[in-house]
Amino acid sequence: MAESILPTQSRQPAMQDGYEDEISLLDLAITLAKYKKLIIGAPFAIAVLVSIYTLFQPNIYTADTRILPPQQQSNASAMLSQLGALGALGGGSLGIKNPNDTYVAMLESRPLQNSMIKRFKLQAVYEAETLADARKTLEGVTTVTTGKDGLITVSVDDQDPIRAATLANGYIDELQKLMQVFAVTDASQRRIFFEKQLHLAKEELADAEVSLKQLQQRTGVLQLDAQAGQLMGTGQAPDIALRYIRKVRDMKYAETLYEILAKQYEMAKLDESKESTVIQVLEKAVVPQDKSKPQRSKIVLIAALATGFLAILYAFIAEALNKAKEDEEQEAQIEALKANLRW
């Protein structure tokens, strides 16, 4: 008898679990069927409303231009080695780790945006009351990105496809102008560095020349070798000779340093003139034929799916609350929750 009962008892939990799963799925299906009008009607209504809304939205066109910015060069590295530590300071330490970030920052800078606004009269186009408002609008329709390939892409959105292409190409023109003002490349920074050092060396050379001249006027010694015999008759001959040699040495040192810095300065100026014109436009912006925004079908589909999900969620929550009201204990808990949620 025991053996005949045990198999029957062991089968009961499995049958009960399967029965509960069947009831659970059936409850879900019943809930969905109960709220079918909401689940189907709400997404359809939202899709119609969003479709009508997007029809009144203006078409937006996007124009792209891609450029290859100037690469950091060190054409004067051979001559910089002549200066030792000074050359290292004027060269390697002034290099930019990621030059593309500099050009992206310049494209997004306020001076360049102001030039764009004034050049293309964008304050009137955007109906902006102030220059700051026009900059904000221009910044919102412009995207500047840099890729792993080293190329910088400038994208401009506008309702007028011709103006979109014109503005995208205008960014590159204004970048060229801005580069003439600021030292961006290695050569520009070297030129500024050596320009300052050359100015200091020129002052030191002038001071050395004046100091030597004053010594000559006080002692009357113009050429130490030629006047050595005359100096031998005075007790100050060794002192005068030592001072004269030091002044001549200081002047020659200042003169040599000035000549080296002058060569470096001219080299940096030459490199700067070469690098200032090497922005290469890989893809010039052309007038776009197709709109980029709004993507009406995509917007409608996303709105309908989101509404359908919320409708299903509402159906399950509403059904759960209805069932909870049938249970006195759960109803009391719901009332307590409502009370605690009140401010």
What's the confidence (pLDDT) of residue 148? 84
> Do the bridges between strand 152-158 and strand 61-68 make them parallel or antiparallel, or are there none, so unpaired?
antiparallel
Give 10-residue mean pLDDT values along the chain (343 residues).
44 49 72 88 91 86 89 47 46 54 89 94 93 94 90 94 95 86 67 87 89 75 51 57 78 90 86 67 90 85 93 88 72 74 77
pTM comes to 0.54
Q: Which two tokens stand for residue 121?
A: 């009269």
Q: Helix 296-326 vs helix 2-34: angle between axes, to the nearest 10 degrees?
A: 130
pLDDT of residue 112: 94
> How crowded is residue 147: how many other Cβ atoms within 10 Å of its Cβ?
10
Instruction: Tally helices (H) and strands (E) across the chain.
Output: 14, 4
Pseudo-torsion of CA 92, 98, 103, 105, nearest 10°? Answer: -110
CB 63 within 8 A of CB 287: yes
CA distance 95 to 84: 17
| Pairwise CA distance, residues 71 & 186, whole Å | 9
Kindly list the strands in the beta sheet with 152-158, ordered across the sheet, starting from the edge strand earlier in the chain: 142-146, 152-158, 61-68, 280-283
